[in-house]
Amino acid sequence: MDTSDRYLRQTTLPEIGDIGQERLRGSTVLVVGCGALGSNSAEIVARAGVGSITLVDSDIVEMGNLQRQGLLGEPDVGEHKAEAVARALQRINSEIEIDYKVVRISADNIERLLHGVDLVLDGFDNMPSRYLLNDACVKHDIPWVFAAVAGMFGMTMPIIPHRTACLRCLSPDPVPDEFVLTAGNAGLINTIPRAIVSMQVTSGLKILLGALDGPAFLTTYDIWSNQFTSLEIERGDDCPCCARAQYPFLEQIPPLS
């Protein structure tokens, strides 16, 4: 199979070019969670030619996932999400390395999972896991891109440790679960994950290409009312994580849901 023109439309872009494409080929991305966010972001980075992708998720594919989770189909029901998504990515791009881990992210394993990673894409469905990820990425100086969706609404923000604001600059502590909208309690239109992931992965590609300069912006989108907002988030001089190097979420040994 001749794959010489696989990235032609991408390398034609002056923002990427052949040099940028080689940089993507030499990059490693960790996708944490293979649900509505993670499965779609994994597909985009695989098609973009990121050289190595690792997927982490412990869940099983259920029929209700098929409404919103890209790459998954009826034959995958009952299988591990990470394995099913990995298999689909290999069909899309056999030139890249795909690995998967059927584990639950916890304080006990996240630092090992981050070893050798250039970028993390957030596919979590709960905030405590994101605070754990933030602690680990800031501690090890690994960029990550936050994303969350619920109902008709989504948000995303790139985080480059010690250069931009981190998640705890935005909100020092997790909001109690009863006040957090999730797909479980608010439902989810299947177009918002794809919209948010497009912005999330674009930020991720810019990070890998060294093209993301300046402060972090929290971008929110209500897809039903077609309302965008973009708010600059400043680094907190007294942020417990990126300013004071406190990582309490890494001390929580039991797995997070």
Q: What is the pLDDT of residues 79-135, one digit of tens each?
A: 999 999 999 999 999 999 999 999 999 999 999 999 999 999 999 999 999 999 999
pTM: 0.95
- Angstrom CA distances, 151 to 154, 165, 183, 191, 193, stand at 8, 26, 6, 10, 10
Is residue 1 within 8 Å of residue 93, measured between CB atoms? no
* CA geometry: angle 253, 115, 158, nearest 5 deg: 85
- pLDDT range class, residue 183, cuts 50, 70, 90: confident
CATH fold label, 11-251:
Rossmann fold (3.40.50)
Residue spans of the domains in the chain: they are 11-251
Angle between helices 192-208 and 36-48 (to 10 degrees): 40
User: What confidence tier does 256 reach under pLDDT thresholds 50, 70, 90?
Assistant: very low
What does DSSP say about strands 97-101 and 119-122: parallel, antiparallel, or unpaired? unpaired
Q: How confident is the model at residue 71 (pLDDT cuts 50, 70, 90)?
A: very high
Q: In terms of DSSP H, where are the helices of the chain?
A: 8-11, 17-25, 36-48, 81-92, 110-113, 127-140, 167-170, 183-186, 192-208
* Among candidate residues 195, 235, 196, the one with its CA nearest the CA of residue 214: 235
pLDDT over threshold 50, residue 255: no
